[in-house]
Amino acid sequence: MAAVMPVPAASRVLMSGNEAVARAVWEAGVKVAAAYPGTPSTEMLEVISTYPDIYSEWSVNEKVSLEVAIGAAYAGSRAFCCMKHVGMNVASDALMTLTLTGVIGGLVIAIADDVGLSSSQNEQDSRFWGRFAHVPVLEPADSQEAYAMTLDAYELSERFQVPVILRMTTRINHVKGLVTVGERSEKASAGFRKEPARWVMTPTGAGKRIPLMFARVGELRKEAEVSPLNFIEPGRDRRVGFIASGPAYMHVKESFPDAPVLKLGFSCPLPFDKCRELAAMVDQVVVVEEVEPLVETELKAEGIAVIGKDILPLQGELAPNVLGPAIARLLGEEAPRLRSTPPMPLFPRPPTMCVACPHLGVYYTLSQVRNLTISGDIGCYTLGAGHPWNALDTCISMGASMGIALGLDKGRGEADKDKRILAVIGDSTFLHMGMQGLLDIVYNKGNVTVLLLDNRAVGMTGGQDNPGNGRDIHGDPAPRVDFAKLVEALGVRPERIHTVNPYELPVLFKTIREEVKAPEVSVIITDQPCVLIKDYHKLKAYEVIDDKCTGCGNCIDVGCPAIHVTRRGKEVKANGREVDLAFVRIETSVCTGCSLCVQPCAPNAIVHHVPVSPIKLVKGCEV
Amino acid sequence: MSENTNILVVGIGGQGVMTATEILAEAAIALGHDVKKTEVAGMAQRGGVVSSHLRFGTRVLTPQIAPGAADVLLGFEAAEAMRWQHMLRPGGITLMNTARLVPPVVELGLYDYPEDPLTEIKKTGNKVVAFDATSIALDLGDIRLGNTVMLGAIADHLPFSAEVLLDCVLKRFARKGEKLVDLNRRAFAAGRAAVGAAEAAAA
């Protein structure tokens, strides 16, 4: 991750929303920043970690990261915490009482909503948390605003002693635009002041803070009415006026440059008077918000006539090609003619596991074992649900593989009585929220076989470090969890704990088959690193001897993207059955010699590659 | 909206699509344009589809290019160039690498890879120029030069001079030594020449 720090003040820099927030966090004099990786939020903390004057950490989960930030803010220092939308579900327990205590040092929580589901298990609207927790929400519309609003958020946070949510979406986090940056200003810490009535939330204490919280909402609403983050652009075409926030504002401006717009940058609590002001200017008001009708519902309850989700979708981005036709229909006009033809029919290209990924061995094996119900989890290994393995049956939330497996076990009916229940979870997900689930399985005597895929990285988000690999956010040595000892400490019997190499298919197969038969909880730990991190070492590439390949296709079932079909055929077996043949080659330039395809190859047609005329590789060429 | 230039760069995770778009963005910034660059590539590291949108001009609002509004489609892979044809505006042009990268779902026999993506694109009536950027890169000694070959290919289809883009490409390699700068200069020229030759042949 490139350090943004050397960029001098007043420079205009091409930055993603994530990079822009990170820069502003540094400039705001933040002392502590914590997060758990999650697309599309991850790069915020990756960039922050390059600033030596900020303490930064990968926390084990989002709740802990928020608690670390809260502690720093209680100590009177500025603090930052970021997460993807589902992370706030985990962290919300802390948030919902944090709103009662408030903060001393500024605390900004950046939440990245994956509008459009680029890499998430659901699509949620984090603006709800502002209403639920009665804290302010700022919504940037591009990188420049993400930068500026982060600085604004710290001022607001300290003025009202309240945590501020910076609500982002994928189309802010991952879009690059030009940002004019400034300098860091140091902030002295106020220091922790003992005040049990404020910091120790008991029923009595909390009861006294609730009226203060509601009074704060009133004050914040007054602030939102006068905030320069909420402004009206009068426009000339008064038939429809828009109330918009976040990326939707840009889409409105792109689609209807002449229409009046109330841009909401400080969108919670809502500035009702500003909304009335816009409504008085135009024939009708359309609220354009991604994704839930929050502003719309509040305005309707306030008696302000608006249109919203009755004409706009409740899912996904409200891009110009969605907005244009909807507004045309509202005005009784002909929809703007689409200039494009429909997409041409073509095969899909879903994400795949990497060449030589250690998960390939696991899923190849699982696809060969019958009678399993496989409770899955969040990570690269969720791809095991896809082809060719089809070896993952559930996936809902971080760590859920454990509890769901136990529920599948305890809730099994007659139809499932012979089914073996297996749970698959990665190292980082296990430490995030899986440990408690495993403890629950042990404590409640569940019969589940747990496959703990330890690849020493948070793989899906780019291979971040975690307590399982012995490196901190800077790559420096850190205490490393011993998974075998950990699960033993949770109560798994030592004879039911196995650490296996996922590239040794016969051992893996035998271990899984034996452990699923055991009438108690077992844990099988795989111990090979993610191929994208520095712990992975390439081995000599393989190739297929064409004459020896019988077209059986066993190697294809491994699912490695380096294996390609050269020709197909058919063969009639002795029993009269016709079988399809697929003859293969290995793309040796990407093969790293994991040998997973070699093991199921019956005719021994896969051998180490011997280059005939070595291609000269240019060292250091990164294009 | 119409005065903005819309460039769509497409390919597969790992091919360097996002880096190429970043270099194009740097060139537009060097000329004083407002720029936005966007892609949805959350899981693209895993061999999935990548499409990177670059818009530049006086002021860019919406970062993504609307279907039917791309001026140029730069395709790093043959089928991917085909996948995004609907994004081109009437009169827009496709510059595509003819190299094919076949995904596991095709190897498993679940789907077919089109016999000839170039012919399919031609059937739409859209303008298309095809060249084998991967072979050009390999001839120069390294498949990773393919990215610079692709940037050379688009260099004469931009609203600014090819030299501005070349400068931005070479700046990336300046710290890595003259040899690499020279290789990339050759790769850029080869991409430019490949498109020029194909267009001359078609004319």
Residue A31 has pLDDT above 70, yes or no: yes
How high is the pLDDT of residue B41?
58
Interatomic CA distance for residues A266 and A487, integer angstroms: 47
More confident residue, A496 or A459: A496
Q: Which helix (H) or strand (E) holds A206?
A: helix A203-226
Interatomic CA distance for residues B187 and B172, integer angstroms: 14
Ordered DSSP codes for A88-124: HHHHHHHHHHHHHH--SS-EEEEEEE-TT-SS-S---
- Token pair in block for residue A162: 């309240």
Pick from B48, B179, B187: which is nearest to A351 by CB? B48
What pairing do the DSSP bridges indicate for beta strands A240-245 and A266-268? Answer: unpaired
Contact with chain A for residue B86, Cβ under 8 A: yes
Separation in Å, CA A567 to CA A554, A582, B102, B107: 15, 6, 13, 10
Residue A3 has pLDDT above 70, yes or no: no
A contact test, residue of B17, B36, B61 with most A CBs within 10 A = B61
Residue A621 has pLDDT above 70, yes or no: no
How close, in Å, is residue A440 to chain B by CA atoms?
32
- Token pair in block for residue B66: 């609307």
More confident residue, A575 or A335: A575
Q: B119 Cβ partners below 8 Å, 6+ apart? A: none
Pick from B38, B61, B124: which is nearest to A174 by CB? B38
Q: Which helix (H) or strand (E) holds A571?
A: strand A563-572
Q: Model confidence at A118, in pLDDT bands (50, 70, 90)?
A: confident
Query: Which amino acid is residue A548, in one-letter code?
Result: K
How crowded is the C-beta side of A589, counted as CA atoms within 13 Å? 8
Please give the class, per CATH, of domain A542-608. alpha beta
Q: What is the tens place of the pLDDT at every residue in A359-403?
A: 999 999 999 999 999 999 999 999 999 999 999 999 999 999 999
What pairing do the DSSP bridges indicate for beta strands B5-12 and B49-57? Answer: antiparallel
How high is the pLDDT of residue A339?
66
Contact with chain A for residue B51, Cβ under 8 A: no
CATH number of this structure's domain A230-330, picked from the four choices 3.30.429.10, 3.30.2090.10, 3.40.50.920, 3.20.20.300 = 3.40.50.920
What pairing do the DSSP bridges indicate for beta strands A240-245 and A164-169? Answer: unpaired
Q: What is the tens place of the pLDDT at every residue in A154-207?
A: 999 999 999 999 999 999 999 999 999 999 999 999 899 999 999 999 999 999
Q: What percent of chain B has pLDDT over 70?
A: 96
- Measured between beta carbons, the chain A residues lying within 8 angstroms of B38 are 171, 174-176
Q: Do domains A358-526 and A542-608 have the same CATH topology?
A: no
How high is the pLDDT of residue A564?
95
- Measured between beta carbons, the chain B residues lying within 8 angstroms of A340 are 67-69, 86-88
How high is the pLDDT of residue B45?
61
What pairing do the DSSP bridges indicate for beta strands B88-97 and B127-131? Answer: parallel
Interatomic CA distance for residues B150 and B165, integer angstroms: 12
- Measured between beta carbons, the chain A residues lying within 8 angstroms of B47 are 349, 351-352, 354, 561
Positive or negative, the CA dihedral B158, B164, B167, B168 is negative
Size of interface A-B (CB pairs under 8 A): 200
Q: Model confidence at A9, in pLDDT bands (50, 70, 90)?
A: confident
How high is the pLDDT of residue A336?
74
Ordered DSSP codes for chain B: -TTSEEEEEEEETTSSHHHHHHHHHHHHHHTT-EEEEEE--TTGGGS-EEEEEEEEES---S-SPPTT-EEEEEESSHHHHHHTGGGEEEEEEEEEE------HHHHTTSSPPPS-HHHHHHHTT-EEEEE-HHHHHHHHT-GGGHHHHHHHHHGGGSSS-HHHHHHHHHHHHGGG-HHHHHHHHHHHHHHHHHHHHHHHHH-
Q: Residue A146 in 3-state DSSP?
A: helix
CATH number of this structure's domain A358-526, picked from the four choices 3.40.50.970, 3.30.1490.20, 3.50.50.60, 3.30.70.60 = 3.40.50.970
Interatomic CA distance for residues A464 and A46, integer angstroms: 9
More confident residue, B81 or B45: B81
What residue spans define the domains of chain B?
A: 5-102+123-202
- Token pair in block for residue A257: 């440059």
Sheet holding A372-375, edge to edge: A372-375, A420-426, A449-453, A522-526, A497-500
Fold of the A12-226 domain? Rossmann fold (3.40.50)
How high is the pLDDT of residue A74?
98
CATH number of this structure's domain B5-102+123-202, picked from the four choices 1.10.3720.10, 3.30.1130.10, 3.40.920.10, 3.30.1310.10 = 3.40.920.10
- Within 10 A of A547 (CB to CB), how many other CB atoms are there? 7
More confident residue, A618 or A10: A10
Cross-chain residue pair B47–A352, CB shorter than 8 Å: yes
- Token pair in block for residue A381: 């290994």
- Token pair in block for residue A608: 């180490």
What pairing do the DSSP bridges indicate for beta strands A542-544 and A449-453? Answer: unpaired
pTM of the model: 0.95
- Within 10 A of A223 (CB to CB), how many other CB atoms are there? 18
Q: What is the tens place of the pLDDT at every residue in A407-445?
A: 999 999 999 999 999 999 999 999 999 999 999 999 999
- Within 10 A of A159 (CB to CB), how many other CB atoms are there? 12
| Distance of alpha carbon A22 from the chain centroid | 18
Report the alpha-carbon angle A355-A357-A358, nearest 5. Answer: 150
How high is the pLDDT of residue A613?
56
Separation in Å, CA B108 to CA A17, A389, A565, A571, A605: 39, 11, 8, 17, 19
Residue A347 has pLDDT above 90, yes or no: yes
How high is the pLDDT of residue A1?
43
| Distance of alpha carbon A312 from the chain centroid | 26
Strand partners, A421: A373
Residue A616 has pLDDT above 70, yes or no: no
Q: What percent of chain A has pLDDT over 90?
A: 91
Q: Closest by alpha carbon to A596, among A367, A364, A388?
A: A364
Q: What is the tens place of the pLDDT at every residue in B104-113?
A: 999 999 999 9
Pick from B16, B35, B84: which is nearest to A14 by CB? B35
- Within 10 A of A173 (CB to CB), how many other CB atoms are there? 29
The torsion angles phi and psi of A112, rounded to 5 degrees, stand at -105, 110
What residue spans define the domains of chain A?
A: 12-226, 230-330, 358-526, 542-608
Q: What percent of chain A has pLDDT over 70?
A: 97
Residue A563 has pLDDT above 90, yes or no: yes
What pairing do the DSSP bridges indicate for beta strands A372-375 and A420-426? Answer: parallel
Query: Cβ distance A315 to A169 under 8 Å?
Result: no
Contact with chain B for residue A301, Cβ under 8 A: no
